[in-house]
Amino acid sequence: MIKAGIIGATGYAGAELARLLANHREAEVIWYGSHSYVGQEYTQIYQNMYEIADSTCLDDNMAEVARQADIIFTATPQGLCASLIQEDILSGTKVIDLSADFRIKDVKKYEAWYSIQHPAPQFIDEAVYGLCEINRDQIRNARLIANPGCYPTCSILSIYPLLKEGFLDPSTIIIDAKSGVSGAGRGAKTDNLFCEVNENIKAYGAATHRHTPEIEDQLSIAAGEDLVISFTPHLVPMNRGILVTAYASLTKEHENADYAQLREIYDHYYQKETFVRVLEKDVYPQTRWVRGSNYVDVNFQIDPRTHRIILMGAMDNLIKGAAGQAVQNMNLMFGLDERTGLESIPLFP
Amino acid sequence: MIKAGIIGATGYAGAELARLLANHREAEVIWYGSHSYVGQEYTQIYQNMYEIADSTCLDDNMAEVARQADIIFTATPQGLCASLIQEDILSGTKVIDLSADFRIKDVKKYEAWYSIQHPAPQFIDEAVYGLCEINRDQIRNARLIANPGCYPTCSILSIYPLLKEGFLDPSTIIIDAKSGVSGAGRGAKTDNLFCEVNENIKAYGAATHRHTPEIEDQLSIAAGEDLVISFTPHLVPMNRGILVTAYASLTKEHENADYAQLREIYDHYYQKETFVRVLEKDVYPQTRWVRGSNYVDVNFQIDPRTHRIILMGAMDNLIKGAAGQAVQNMNLMFGLDERTGLESIPLFP
Amino acid sequence: MIKAGIIGATGYAGAELARLLANHREAEVIWYGSHSYVGQEYTQIYQNMYEIADSTCLDDNMAEVARQADIIFTATPQGLCASLIQEDILSGTKVIDLSADFRIKDVKKYEAWYSIQHPAPQFIDEAVYGLCEINRDQIRNARLIANPGCYPTCSILSIYPLLKEGFLDPSTIIIDAKSGVSGAGRGAKTDNLFCEVNENIKAYGAATHRHTPEIEDQLSIAAGEDLVISFTPHLVPMNRGILVTAYASLTKEHENADYAQLREIYDHYYQKETFVRVLEKDVYPQTRWVRGSNYVDVNFQIDPRTHRIILMGAMDNLIKGAAGQAVQNMNLMFGLDERTGLESIPLFP
Amino acid sequence: MIKAGIIGATGYAGAELARLLANHREAEVIWYGSHSYVGQEYTQIYQNMYEIADSTCLDDNMAEVARQADIIFTATPQGLCASLIQEDILSGTKVIDLSADFRIKDVKKYEAWYSIQHPAPQFIDEAVYGLCEINRDQIRNARLIANPGCYPTCSILSIYPLLKEGFLDPSTIIIDAKSGVSGAGRGAKTDNLFCEVNENIKAYGAATHRHTPEIEDQLSIAAGEDLVISFTPHLVPMNRGILVTAYASLTKEHENADYAQLREIYDHYYQKETFVRVLEKDVYPQTRWVRGSNYVDVNFQIDPRTHRIILMGAMDNLIKGAAGQAVQNMNLMFGLDERTGLESIPLFP
């Protein structure tokens, strides 16, 4: 049994990790770390785990967790994981960081977008960007995983194949993303109250959202050149789910490509992937069909009038966009079948 | 592997059965029966099953299903199962009927409340009311199960222990129930459109809902006398979930009973039950904590001013209230661990 | 023009008052009082009022408001209005208190249910319970109005006629109420976050909710005897709306009364009332049909099997249940047509 | 009093017209036309109008309506208005068509996108595109108004000033729009059931939606050249509201324009407009702040990294996007204050 510690187990992403690991036949949670609920029964906070988990919330003493656990998940605010991590810890334990601390290789860029000083830049190079479908091999041997952000996971997987194969003009990428409210966390903020979110849709952080450089970094690697994108997230009145609608111009040489041609590229990249489902022609991704699962559904639509392509992806932000991908990474790091503990079929309706 | 046929696999309850059985390690669905979608790919209708199920919808030829399947689930409108069932079928196959056809032992009562003539009254006596926690032993040996209704399951399990033990005045039971919209099925009716249900709550079928006699029958057995209840269901703007708030007067001799005393009764009945969770004192059942699982959460509150008790229960109407209980029944009938395929932890948020 | 001051203008009820008064042709808001947002533009907090209101939030200096305003509305937490009110204020200004401070005539009862000491018991007797349809005449001449609670308004209006006329057994009244989330206020609490409320229904405060004695007091007056009730509120995932489902036994002498007979009573009480709509037979109140208006829709269903009657009422909790009723009271106090500023037709969908 | 007839009064847009006109002091509805509910009480279908409207649904005999009414609103499926309209009708009555029949000047384009033959092309030239803020003068003298579509209204008003003034590269416009479900109408379709829409977001009609040519036509007029756009609508789980997020590249000469400069353009176009509110810098439009009103809130964000601008607009799709704009058009046509009957302040929450 893999002994897992969760630092930040009482946020939504941490709680989803706890839920997934409770049904994982090769792992068990031995540390429910929390900032706000130390000493309380975990199941008093997450009543869904009543009679399933039986533990008291502990603090976020990472060194102590490292002594007891084979793997540590940090589902914590920016900067916390980096401020606690040390060579001692990494030498004996694996770490999967669900925050952004190790996602961006350029520390100056990180500090500019996140407005904090990076507390542990010495580990940035070593950290592997844990997007399993793309970096599977490095993940297997990593000690430290930078678990991708929710918007980046959905955006990158939707765009990656065609960009990598040179079908998209890298200067034209626009990502219009829509997220359920659990992505905003469990902090008690007026803006996230039911009455403020329900019957509402809004954009936020247009041109300034922190996931922008993360997406750009990964897409730049795919494109083989530095690119900038437009990225606008929106808040949708639903609990779970992210939908990405991305726009790009087809490159001149491919501007008359048809669906079948482009579909072949998608299939080449994804047909062996369990967790990326390329939908049938004219069937668009919808969050309802992936909720509660680790799937990302993708598809695209060609617009012959504008020579643009509309690339779409849908996933559960708390699973493939956070806790599920973290478990997938853990599975890879411990030599397990990548799908272990992630067998849930999307819950509909 | 148990071969299962589903008649009515494209309604919400049938689809939930398909989903649960797809993750059941001892069973597989070999017949996706449908009235409206014969010949269509199942995954075109339920896109969540894309790349999971790989089947075309078949018709509702029950005799043919019986030849191929070890068990048949009928998730169909009232009267259909009863009109198709025959001794031939039952002699070779087990049947779990998710409709109300075999739930009410008094055929006249059935016909009065459902306004249809019963097509197969000869099987009513044999049918076992499949509320596992109460009729477990008879279920194991049954050929034909009347799978309980959603409101009855939640109502009965909430009230049963105290009524059976004589703490409740049988003439005072009032059940005010609230259900998510999936309980209304997938038929395209104006009343169930998003804009009609969202931002709305309403009662319906007050004093006339068909689940009334079903609840009365089972509670009468518990009470050892015939009783009538008031039952009012409500439609709540959410997909899944039933909450029951029931009221009853404590019997004279017990009118000063305290929580601990009554709690002991509950524990006596439910502490060995996996799927009934008696919550801690002052923690009320909420549908969010059971969604996506087979659990029923129950608890109660004593009102010393009125000598009434408020009994509460929450569950997922499509799982413990329909498909999950059907799988639980199947497990019992085939000698499996009752929990097989029902391990899902409630999905929150 | 009536000059109105609102203390607590940045909560949901206060904001609804501001909105209603902005469209009231005989009144204007001259003081937007706030505890948390003093000095901020009101329209930065309530963006719906952008280019409509043009004011900065002021503090809750009631004496100063009294000097400037003809009427003061207090939409504030329990105890605040009572702690600020004085004879000086009341001698020059009218006050409508939307909190519970002056609703309960028995100060001990108030203190027991609200767990605070009443700061100004000397005004309790004078205060008029502002349920316009019942106490219209006293309201006209009042200096101090105790504006009714949301649950009490809907409960009392649903039950009043039949109770007053002796058709209901006073010892059997059970009120199962369901409210939208705006009733819980705009405070930033985890329990009211979107993800906690959405896809959920729960009971809360069963047998202990503070609106219980308020309902009992008013119904006792109607019944002509002291009565106790069971009252259970529920939280429904919607912004606005309260639905009351109440149960009572018909008195022995009336236990065979039919719909037409009882309907006559309702019509007698309400046919001249603009804001109480008695629906047609078999049409149940639903919150969608009253949202955004000052209407209460009521109806009832007789259950001949149990000799109980199910009484139902629906209204918008922020309007008839708070701000709208306060405006209705103001209209009465200033000799205006009671409907002024309350002409909005329910917004559907 | 203006006598108004509504053909299609039982759809959501028609019902919203009926609601607005019931509160309009210069108009009254004298014909509630319906296809599906002829002979039924209007208030049985729209219970919000109970005791307010008092009429029976009539048929869609446009010639007869024309004899009785001063103005006819057609809130009907594509092709119906055009198939009924005649010179006789127009010579005695004004017509505001809420369908798309007269919005597109090029009949071939109309027929290509709508897949129907235009039944009355002779009236296309005469019809005025009823976007009041842009075509106010022609509207005043029109007999036949093509009331704009919901997406076009919000899109055009968000983009118009900067495009017209030459700040946007016309070849780069991408519109990502999000709509509440009432935009899909009241037809009983499985896809619009509560359980299918709730907890879901999806794109639909990418690159093929029928509002595309309508937006292109109007933006081409503004730009002074033919342009094509990318347009992707999305369905959001809420009743009302449209949010437009549009992307465009700043033209070379203006690529370093700052907020103040562009804001001046917006103010120039909109500061005298009651129903277009340009929000303060960094405040984004949200549908919750316009719901229930005729407002469009607009604003924009410059992205200096990509030299793109993100243009945003929010409105209530049933009011400014349909019935409210129709009333605004009627007011203009009859020489009334444009705001008559449209004074509602947005209802929040």
Cα–Cα dist B197/B190, whole Å? 10
Cα–Cα dist B30/B10, whole Å? 14
Q: Across the interface, do C245 and B199 touch by the CB < 8 Å criterion?
A: no
pLDDT digits 0-9 by tens, B97-141: 999 999 999 999 999 999 999 999 999 999 999 999 999 999 999
CB < 8 Å to B13, chain D? none
Average model confidence (pLDDT) for chain B? 97
Give A296's strand partners.
Answer: A276, A315
On whether the CB atoms of residues D102 and D123 are closer than 8 A, the answer is yes
Closest to D230 (Cβ–Cβ): which among A201, A202, A306? A306
Closest to B284 (Cβ–Cβ): which among C204, C236, C245? C204
The pLDDT assigned to A312 comes to 98
CB < 8 Å to B239, chain D? 194-195, 198-199
Kind of pairing between the strands at C202-203 and D202-203: unpaired
Q: Across the interface, do D238 and A201 touch by the CB < 8 Å criterion?
A: yes
Q: Which of B193, B199, B236, B316 to mutate against chain D (most D CBs within 10 Å)?
A: B193
Q: A218: which residues sit within 8 A by CB, 6+ positions away?
A: A129, A131, A134, A152, A156
Query: Tokens 């059976």 identify what position?
Result: B164
From the list C57, C81, C132, C150, the catalytic residue is C150
Cα–Cα dist C193/D198, whole Å? 17
pLDDT digits 0-9 by tens, C112-148: 999 999 999 999 999 999 999 999 999 999 999 999 9
On whether the CB atoms of residues D231 and D203 are closer than 8 A, the answer is no
pLDDT band at C109 (very low <50, low <70, confident <90, very high): very high
Q: Across the interface, do C174 and B308 touch by the CB < 8 Å criterion?
A: yes
Q: Across the interface, do B51 and A279 touch by the CB < 8 Å criterion?
A: no
Give the closest residue to D201 by CA, choosing from A237, A118, A28.
Answer: A237
Q: Cα C207–C212–C218 angle (5° rounding)?
A: 150
pLDDT digits 0-9 by tens, D102-115: 999 999 999 999 99
Return the DSSP state at A252.
G
Q: Across the interface, do A237 and C182 touch by the CB < 8 Å criterion?
A: no
On whether the CB atoms of residues A311 and A248 are closer than 8 A, the answer is yes
For the segment D67-94, the average pLDDT, to the nearest whole number, is 96
Q: B258: which residues sit within 8 A by CB, 6+ positions away?
A: B302
Q: Across the interface, do B301 and C230 touch by the CB < 8 Å criterion?
A: no
pLDDT digits 0-9 by tens, D148-202: 999 999 999 999 999 999 999 999 999 999 999 999 999 999 999 999 999 999 9
The pLDDT assigned to B84 comes to 95
The pLDDT assigned to B100 comes to 97
User: Active-site residue D150, yes or no?
Assistant: yes
Closest to D349 (Cβ–Cβ): which among C52, C239, C279? C239
Give C243's strand partners.
Answer: C178, C314
Cα–Cα dist C45/A333, whole Å? 48
Give B310's strand partners.
Answer: B247, B301
Give the closest residue to C344 by CA, choosing from C12, C19, C10.
Answer: C19
Query: Tokens 């208006």 identify what position?
Result: C293
Give the C:D interface size as CB pairs under 8 Å. Answer: 77
Q: Which residue of B has its CA nearest to D236?
A: B194
Task: Give whole-number Cα distances, D14 to A292, B120, D155, D186, in Å.
Answer: 39, 49, 22, 11
Q: Across the interface, do D285 and A240 touch by the CB < 8 Å criterion?
A: no
Closest to D195 (Cβ–Cβ): which among B190, B199, B239? B239
Residue type, A59: D
Write out chain B's pLDDT in tens, 349 residues: 999 999 999 999 999 999 999 999 999 999 999 999 999 999 999 999 999 998 999 999 999 999 999 999 999 999 999 999 999 999 999 999 999 999 999 999 999 999 999 999 999 999 999 999 999 999 999 999 999 999 999 999 999 999 999 999 999 999 999 999 999 999 999 999 999 999 999 999 999 999 999 999 999 999 999 999 999 999 999 999 999 999 999 999 999 999 999 999 999 999 999 999 999 999 999 999 999 999 999 999 999 999 999 999 999 999 999 999 999 999 999 999 999 999 999 999 9
CB < 8 Å to D283, chain C? 44, 47
Count of other CB atoms within 10 angstroms of residue D318: 30
Q: Which residue of A has its CA nearest to C187?
A: A190
Query: Tokens 């700052």 identify what position?
Result: D258
pLDDT band at D337 (very low <50, low <70, confident <90, very high): very high
DSSP code string of B271-302 = TT-SSEEEPPTTPPPBGGGTTTSS-EEEEEEE
Query: Tokens 């299939």 identify what position?
Result: A267
CB < 8 Å to D182, chain B? 195
In Å, how far is C105's CA from the nearest CA of chain D?
Answer: 33
In Å, how far is D156's CA from the nearest CA of chain A?
Answer: 18
In chain C, how many H helices and how many E strands? 12, 13
Return the DSSP state at C58.
B
Give B234's strand partners.
Answer: B178, B203
Q: Across the interface, do D284 and A202 touch by the CB < 8 Å criterion?
A: yes
Q: Which residue of D has its CA nearest to B11?
A: D190
Q: Across the interface, do B192 and D197 touch by the CB < 8 Å criterion?
A: no
In Å, how far is A82's CA from the nearest CA of chain C?
Answer: 27
Give the B:D interface size as CB pairs under 8 Å. Answer: 56
Q: Across the interface, do C48 and D239 touch by the CB < 8 Å criterion?
A: no
Residues of D at the B interface (Cβ-Cβ below 8 Å)?
A: 12, 181-182, 186, 188-190, 192-199, 237-239
Residue type, D23: N
The overall longest dimension of chain B from CA atoms, in Å, is 62
CB < 8 Å to C345, chain D? 19, 22-23, 48-49, 52
Structure tokens at D242: 């449209």
For the segment A323-349, the average pLDDT, to the nearest whole number, is 98
From the list B57, B132, B150, B154, the catalytic residue is B150
CB < 8 Å to B199, chain C? 180, 238-241, 287-288, 291, 349
Task: Give whole-number Cα distances, C39 to B158, C57, D185, in Å.
Answer: 52, 5, 44
Return the DSSP state at D321.
I
pLDDT band at A266 (very low <50, low <70, confident <90, very high): very high
Q: Cα B49–B53–B59 angle (5° rounding)?
A: 105
Query: Between B259-270 and B150-164, two packed helices, what is the crossing angle to 10 degrees?
Result: 120
Q: Across the interface, do C195 and A239 touch by the CB < 8 Å criterion?
A: yes
**CB-based burial label for C27 (10 Å; 0-12, 13-18, 19+):** buried
Query: Tokens 């009832």 identify what position?
Result: C300
